[in-house]
Chain A
């Protein structure tokens, strides 16, 4: 009887563990299957590097370069915000914050990380966009700049809390060794603790970027939606995720447009996959470096 129960449990947990693998396979297969008609009938590189995205014209144009560029621009912009603010917050928490400051800041960061993106979107639309528009006198506040800003703010808590984890993983003995040699706190931080946490901090940044790349709601709401390669950061743009979300509902199932949208999804999938693999490689190196096992 006990034997049987153990076998049963083993089976249940094995099945549950493989469920995620099953989902992943299902997702990849679906993406491939639905984008296949498009990939077969269109030159892949022509579309990826094509300038015009006019999916509903006749004949239609499926140039995705403006969408891909838009994703890159807002992601890059988000990095400019979330890296300094996130890493700076982590350093502050780790090095300078008093116990009571930490007690306030840490839960606050977790709350920020848990806010649904649509709320960030609202905030961007109602507060930030009009403000930017008035401040800079640009035609619309719904543009790549605002999207970058909001995405960056959104990714900041992820970066901050993961980077803080990386810093706190650095064994105290490294700090002690450094201080015992007569290093001051700043030298200890920049020359021992940060290099030791370096790949952990990089992983934090990469995962933050991953969050920005895949984010849909915010860019749908505040990026402006123009499928044109932006001339400046203050132009409206239409990132890949926003395109999928906006157009999926209005397209005919099985049409070229429908399949093209899945192709965008496929590209997005591979970009995020690549980001995750890089993050994993770096964090593995990090553990090795600290002698925390393989």
Chain B
């Protein structure tokens, strides 16, 4: 079982790239430990900025650095980064098109029993609504690394959500990766599962369990929430009876909404959206919450069987 988290994968990738790139700058808000970016701060102190517990300042300063030629990675808990500094993200980053990658760490319900203030169940919606912002939720560490490498090749703003815990490996270092193209994990005849981030391994397990029950499911890893890969979705959805989305996010404005929007206009299809409810969530670990809200493999299998 893989123990390397996606945030560690980001740090390793940035450490490697910074060897030959003095313009890579990491900015943190008393978050370098939780972002696993302490090794970057120690190795490249001259390319690291600490702003203290001040997320608006974090994003504003990042935009200023980027406007002067830096390639900025700003990391803070997704809950605070996506909403506390929302206007800085809107104006200074998205609208101004500054070369800032916002890294929302411990996304979704990673923080478990720390509760609603620490959950980020609206970050996809909030960030997707900003003109000029791209939104990603990679699944495993290999996809995360490919994503960071790809983002370093352009100068457009983006928001990435990563989880706190390590995700099971789905790919390897030689995986196919094209920016803004969903990864097709499997094709299926009956159902298409569409998942992102930490939900992808659960969907994969569900797919295997469904196969044992004689139900053929395909699986799309839709790490690119914006720009949303509607082409691959429509292509894979065309011949199935049912599409099921699985996301660690509120019902509004995330993967389910984007999927519904794309399907309704291009390929009307029965759709079941699995997500976290629009209410105060129970306390527990993230795994306990996934099970409670039916986002784990058992919950996905159940929804598919009910809908078919």
Q: Do A and B come from one complex?
A: no
> Hey, which bits of chain A sit against chain B, CB under 8 A?
none
> Hey, which bits of chain B sit against chain A, CB under 8 A?
none
